[in-house]
Structure 1
Amino acid sequence: MTITRQDAWTQDEDLLLAEVVLRHIREGGTQLSAFEEVGRALTRTAAACGFRWNSYVRKQYQSGIELAKKQRKELRKQIGVHSVNMPNSMKQTASASSEGKRDLSIQDVIQFLEQFKETPSAQEFQLEREKLKEQIQSLQKELEDLRSENQTLRNQLEMTEEDYKALIDIMDRARKMVVSKEDGRMKKAAQET
């Protein structure tokens, strides 16, 4: 008699995991986001879902994975834009269109183009990068100047403390001399009387 684990995966859970992962592959999403989605649905961790996928389920769905990758490639060709530049809403629209669920409307295209226009270009990223580099260099120079100034102030403080100690020492010796002279006079005065 074999004992079944309490948290063992059922066929339905394996099927849900496979469907969600294949959908994410088709739509250009990540497997990690698929694992998180399945984890929420099954109250399991994303890591547990990922382990189950990689250790067991994926082997059973190799042809499905290849088909999903082909569909993703076809979808990208139909749109004519790389998935990296596509907003999520457009990916979903394009995915639905490729599956025959919905035709791509002119409004969808306009929305995509407006979102695409708002995304920063590589040149803007390069300019921003250069500005940040200059800012970093400026801050590093300022930090070096402040460190140098700090060291100078520490040296000055150390010298001032040494001078202060020397002054206190001189004052103590002078006080002792005055006290000893005073004592000497008092002794002399006491002897004379």
Structure 2
Amino acid sequence: MNIRQDAWSDTDDRLLAETVLKHIREGSTQLKAFDEVGDTLDRTSAACGFRWNAIVRQKYEHKVKEAKRERKRRMRASASQAANRINHISNRPLQLDDMIQYLESLSSQLSQQEDTESIEQIEKEITSLEHAKQSVQQEINNLKKEYQDMKRDHDTVVHMMNRAREMAMTEEQLPSANIFRMDRNGNLEKLSP
């Protein structure tokens, strides 16, 4: 069995998974993870994205959920630290307006992350559709080639039959007994009487 030189190894898959999970935990995007892994493995980020979405993600679905929970915990902790800093800097108790302003900025950050996840899902679907398109195109090309081969064989058989029919008609018209033999290539040769 031949192994493709560009085949993904288990180590490559683990690196891809660990990098994507790290980016999710840190609030970064999967696209940035694909770029990072692509640079490391000398592959395109699209190839990394396709590998993640088509093969690796299913194996790490539970860890992806954990990474997203961790990201939310970090964001909450960051919010709490920011509130403490505001309180410490102002040397006054935290006011409701301060909290509202901070929560609005936090809500904006969360909505941007949700938009990023939605975009990533769309990109995943696009990658999957592009792969399916390539597979269908390859199948079409194979069928076209097969059709051309069959057409050529058909034309050869028809040509051979027409030549045999012509020879048979010529034989009927001539009074002498002509005997012909067909060789492997479909050529007729006259045998001596």
TMscore range, shorter length: 0.3 to 0.5
Please give the TM-score of this superposition, normalised by the length of structure 2: 0.41
Q: Higher helix proportion, which one?
A: 1
Please give the TM-score of this superposition, normalised by the length of structure 1: 0.41
Higher alpha-carbon Rg: 1
Q: Higher strand proportion, which one?
A: 2
Q: Which protein has greater RCO, CA pairs closer than 8 Å, 6+ apart?
A: 2
